[in-house]
Amino acid sequence: MLSRVVALTVLPLALLACDPAPPSTEADPAPAAASAPAEAGAYLPVPGGRIWYHRTGSGSGTPALLLHGGPGFPSHYLKPLEALGADRPVVRYDQLGAGRSGATTDTTLFTIEHFVAELDSLRSALGWERVHVVGHSWGTILGFEYWRAHPDRVASLTLASAALEIPAWLENTRRLVGTLSDSAQEAIRVREASGEYEAPDYQAAVAEFYAQYVFRHPVEADLDSSMAAFNTTLYGYMWGPSEFTATGTLQGYDATPLLGTIDVPTLYTVGEFDEAGPDVIRRHAAMTPGARVVEIPGAAHITTWDNPEATFQAVKDFLLGVDRGGG
């Protein structure tokens, strides 16, 4: 049972001028969660603090950057995609305020502009001219907006369980709420009307939703680490109290008018039971020139936990195809 809402969604726009600073391998004096287990990596100074990143792989392919969801949920669950390192360099990182990166509750930093600039600082510090952008949930918005800001620096987009149309996301998740137990639906109705999001019955309803549509087979150690390092302030400010209720700055985001302008190879993936909605994702793919869609069998939103093998294979095959000149 989750004692506090976790999450995975996102949003967009522009960039903030930021000169990249050299990476550091010394320990961060103020990690977002001191209880997160030690893991090899390095730190990069960014506006507002420092971000942690982990580099793997030595293949000759175009590098890949992995963008986690949330906002505020750390990158532990993306570890299965580090196996892409057999073909290319891969970097997984925690966005500012999440995971092993510097802790912050400064809402002036909770913007798409900040996170786009942060991502570009990391790419620049790594010395990579062009990268494959592999985003999940909120990370798909970050990835899409990064492409908009720096199209010359993006070799391809992988948009996993995309959150590119928040009104449609909310319509779909509200439909899924209707499949929950009667007691869960009643708790959601009553507690959301009164704003009592921390009430035990509301949290139990959220946990029921999660077990069906967010992750069905979590990696327990990574789930524990993720919850310990989850920035609920960031999530609440940008998103809201639950996956099916948005009250934050991202609630009106809709990239669909711009999907037709994407001019790099694009892969959409979605879980069979994904809260993002397979039908919604297929519609977005149809709007994106030349895009591919892969549905991950038996998986909810976090496909890297529910079916890591199928998720990895879909992304691996796509990136190799792009590197070979395919779409």
**Residue pair 264/151 in contact by the 8 Å Cβ criterion:** yes
Partner residues linked to 295 by β-bridges:
270
Q: How is the beta sheet containing 42-46 ordered, strand by strand?
A: 42-46, 49-56, 90-93, 64-67, 131-136, 154-160, 266-271, 292-296
Tell me, yes or no, if 136 is annotated catalytic.
Answer: no
CA distance 53 to 44: 8
C-alpha torsion sign, points 57, 150, 78, 162: negative
Candidates 132, 136, 284, 301; catalytic one: 301
**Spatial distance between the Cα atoms of 170 and 176, rounded to a whole number of angstroms:** 10
Catalytic residue list contains 101: no
Catalytic residue flag (residue 301) = yes
Catalytic residue among 75, 101, 121, 137: 137
Please state, in angstroms and rounded to a whole number, the distance separating the CA atoms of residues 73 and 85: 23
Of residues 87, 94, 222, 274, which has the active-site annotation? 274
**HSE-CB for 158 with a 13 A CA cutoff:** 28
Active site (catalytic) residues:
137, 274, 301
